[in-house]
Amino acid sequence: MLRIRNSSLKSLRLWFVGTCTVISVVTVLSMALAQAPPTARPEEAAGASALNGASLDYFPRDHLFRILGRDVLSAKGEDMGRIVDVLFDEKGAPHAAVIDFGGFLGVGNRKIAVSWSALRFDLGEKKNAIALDLGREQLKAAPEFKPTESDKPIPVVAQPQSSPSETTPDSGR
Amino acid sequence: MSRSLRGLDWLNFFVANFQTGFGPFLSVYLTGVGWTQGAIGAALSAGTIAGMVSQVPGGAWVDAVRSKRAAAAAAIVAIMASALLIALWPALLPIVLAEVLHAFASSVLGPAIAALTLALVAPSAFGERLGRNARYLALGNAFAAGLMGTIGWYLSERAVFFLTAALGLPALAALETIRKEDLARPEIHRVAAPAVKPRDDGGLWRVLKDRRLLVFCACASLFQLANAAMLPIAAGMVTKRAGSEASLLIAACIVGPQIVTALISPWAGRAADGWGRRPILLLGFSALPIRGVLLAGFTDPYLIILIQLFDGLGAAVFGVLLPLIIADLTRDSGHYTTCLGVVGLAIGGGATLSTTVAGFMADHFGGAAAFLGLAAVGFCATALVWALMPETRPTTNTASA
């Protein structure tokens, strides 16, 4: 500041004009950006011609969600770990979710596959978590999911009523 | 002088934080930001490979560079940068870059601190001082595990990496208090600043062909082959058997041994100077087969915590005697940290193989079989020390200076 005051009035004016210009440019730009979403209609942004005839739908953010890395809570609110993978059956329907369960700082965690039907996705209150109809005590000793063991059946834990997949052949532990 | 030594204490303490976030915890963080398991595996493998590849060049660079302090400072800044990169930009390329940067920086930092230590104290006091280094490193490890576990749980996993970067600042401050004058003392000048370069070109090769160095590399490699997989498998058993307190019990399995290491490291350093290296080395190595057999026999989570305390004995002896024995073998050669890198490579190979082999055994034959296998390897390591590893302590403490 001292330097500016010591120099001529002209340079002070230059500073003033320069600052005003920068501020106004930033303001106009930010207004333009703020205006952008409503003006650029989705249909206009990517017209039918750009997609070569494919149709395009837009969904509100809270209607669709990513699943990898999402926290899983039990009915009692226990931390059950995170979803790290989804297993599909031959028909292309999700059959099981692999959750990364337990551990401390990444040591001692176990990957366990749980039946897709044991997951509940009513994301009403806890928007970030998925509910699981199984508790820690039911999950902790389950055989681990090993993606690399191609020759062995995959153990999937499910609720008691849909029993066939709950107990699986012992994986040798 | 005492100010410099206290600086070295705190340098070891804060440097311990630099490993916590980058290993298994990174996969937890990346899982949380929606990475697939395949991508996480690739990023961690890149880190493992870089960790091995960087060992010898890192050590050689520390030997070659004039200022060990500058080398340590550069490594600390690089690790801070990689932690920030991981926190701010969790995409494949930046994460791999951060892992590689962290690996190379770690391969410089460890040897640089060892070289600073060697330059700060007289040869006769080196063992005791290494014991103190190991104590502060263990305290730092315990502190880091506790603090980062808490922050990861209550704040966010990303916060752990910001904290890692922030803890680089006290590490740099501690490094700053190590005074240059204390490093340049004439009696240790040769080792502190081998800017004189290796006197004869065959020097490094001659040092590397030393049979004692090769035997020690084999022992150290076998030690890690037996050691590295024990904690992960034991922790997995705790998850399997304990209730909601499992995470706390695993934390105890990690922190407990560090406390033991902090308690006995100074004693290990003094005893290695007093009784000699061999008896202490045998003591630390023999804890390994005992731990393996006990872990195979007992599966109660609380007993596992107690058995894990043996890890502290092994870690203390290993952490003190590794830099001590290498110093015995290379003290006047100007190749000290290069040889540390060579041993580091042997250790890295053993540790990587350990988790692979023991994980395979645990999957196919059960946890007990895996622990017995690891115990057998630990027994072989101990037997190798007993049969082939000579005493390396200089015959008279004063004559070696």
* Predicted local distance difference test score (pLDDT) of residue A126: 55
Cβ contacts of B242 on chain A, cutoff 8 Å: 140
Cβ contacts of A77 on chain B, cutoff 8 Å: none
- Distances B154 to A110, A148, B119, B148, B149 between C-alpha atoms, Å: 21, 33, 42, 10, 9
- Residue B138 and residue B251 in one domain: no
- Residue B18 and residue B150 in one domain: yes
- Residue B30 and residue B104 in one domain: yes
Query: What is the C-alpha separation between B169 and B80, in angstroms, rounded?
Result: 9
Cβ contacts of B251 on chain A, cutoff 8 Å: 104-105
- Residue B169 and residue B106 in one domain: yes
Query: What is the C-alpha separation between B320 and B267, in angstroms, rounded?
Result: 10
Sequence letter at residue B277: R
- Residue B99 and residue B209 in one domain: no
Query: Looking at the partner chain, which of A107, A140, A149 has a beta carbon nearest the beta carbon of B254?
Result: A107
Residue A12: which pLDDT band, with cuts at 50, 70 and 90? low
* Interchain pair A171, B23: CB under 8 A: no
User: Which token pair is B89?
Assistant: 């930009």
- Residue B221 and residue B105 in one domain: no
B45: contact with A, CB 8 A cutoff: no
B356: contact with A, CB 8 A cutoff: no
Between positions 133 and 172 of A, the ones with CB within 8 A of B are: 136-137, 140-141, 144, 146-147, 149, 171-172
The tens digit of pLDDT for each residue in A129-151 reads 888 999 888 898 899 898 877 78
- Residue B181 and residue B222 in one domain: no
- Residue B98 and residue B126 in one domain: yes
- Residue B169 and residue B213 in one domain: no
> What total number of domains does chain B contain?
2
- Residue B92 and residue B236 in one domain: no
- Residue B229 and residue B177 in one domain: no
* Predicted local distance difference test score (pLDDT) of residue A75: 84
Query: What is the C-alpha separation between A101 and A117, in angstroms, rounded?
Result: 18
Residue A87: which pLDDT band, with cuts at 50, 70 and 90? very high
B50-B53-B56-B59 Cα dihedral, nearest 10 degrees: -10
- Interface A-B: count of C-beta contacts within 8 A: 97
| DSSP H or E run through B375 | helix B367-388
Is the residue at B366 inside a domain? yes
* Predicted local distance difference test score (pLDDT) of residue B107: 96
Q: What is the CATH number of the domain that holds B275?
A: 1.20.1250.20
- A 10 A CB-CB count for B172 gives 16
Residue to substitute from B29, B30, B31, B258, interface A, most A β-carbons within 10 A: B31
Last residue within a domain, chosen from B161, B192, B223 = B192
Is the residue at B28 inside a domain? yes
| Percent residues over pLDDT 90 in chain A | 27
Cβ contacts of A82 on chain B, cutoff 8 Å: 31-32
Cβ contacts of B28 on chain A, cutoff 8 Å: 100, 103, 105-106, 109
pLDDT of residue A91 exceeding 70, the answer is yes
Residue to substitute from B26, B28, B40, interface A, most A β-carbons within 10 A: B28
For chain A, the structural domain boundaries read: 2-45, 61-165
- Mean of the pLDDT values across residues A71-92? 91
Length of chain B measured in residues: 401
d(CA A79, nearest CA chain B) in Å = 9
Is the residue at B363 inside a domain? yes
* Interchain pair A108, B20: CB under 8 A: no
8 Å CB contact between B322 and B213: no
Closest by CA to B208, choosing from B303, B336, B391, is B336
Tens place of pLDDT per residue across chain B (401 aa): 788 899 999 999 999 999 888 988 999 999 999 999 899 999 999 999 999 999 999 999 999 998 999 999 999 999 999 999 999 999 999 999 999 999 999 999 999 999 999 999 988 889 999 999 999 999 999 999 999 999 998 999 999 999 999 999 999 999 999 988 788 654 554 444 444 444 454 578 888 888 899 999 999 999 999 999 999 999 999 999 988 889 999 999 999 999 999 999 999 999 999 899 999 999 999 999 999 999 999 999 999 999 999 999 999 999 999 999 999 998 778 899 999 999 999 999 999 999 999 988 988 888 899 999 999 999 999 999 999 999 888 875 444 43
* Predicted local distance difference test score (pLDDT) of residue A172: 39
Q: Is this complex scored with an ipTM above 0.85?
A: no
pLDDT of residue A66 exceeding 90, the answer is no
| B230-241 vs B246-274: helix crossing angle, rounded to 10 | 150
Is the residue at B162 inside a domain? yes
- Distances A167 to A95, A118, A153, B89, B195 between C-alpha atoms, Å: 16, 15, 12, 42, 67
Is the residue at B357 inside a domain? yes
Cβ contacts of B147 on chain A, cutoff 8 Å: none
* Predicted local distance difference test score (pLDDT) of residue B132: 95
Is the residue at B401 inside a domain? no
* Interchain pair A107, B34: CB under 8 A: no
Question: By CB neighbour count within 10 A (0-12 exposed, 13-18 middle, 19+ buried), where does B36 fall?
Answer: middle
Residues spanned by the domain of B21 = 1-192
Is the residue at B269 inside a domain? yes
B120: contact with A, CB 8 A cutoff: no
HSE toward the beta carbon, residue A71, CA cutoff 13 A:
14
Is the residue at B197 inside a domain? no
Query: Looking at the partner chain, which of B24, B37, B241 has a beta carbon nearest the beta carbon of A105?
Result: B24
- Residue B71 and residue B143 in one domain: yes
* Predicted local distance difference test score (pLDDT) of residue B353: 95
The tens digit of pLDDT for each residue in A30-65 reads 555 554 544 445 555 555 578 888 889 998 887 788
CATH 3.90.550.10 fits A61-165, yes or no: no
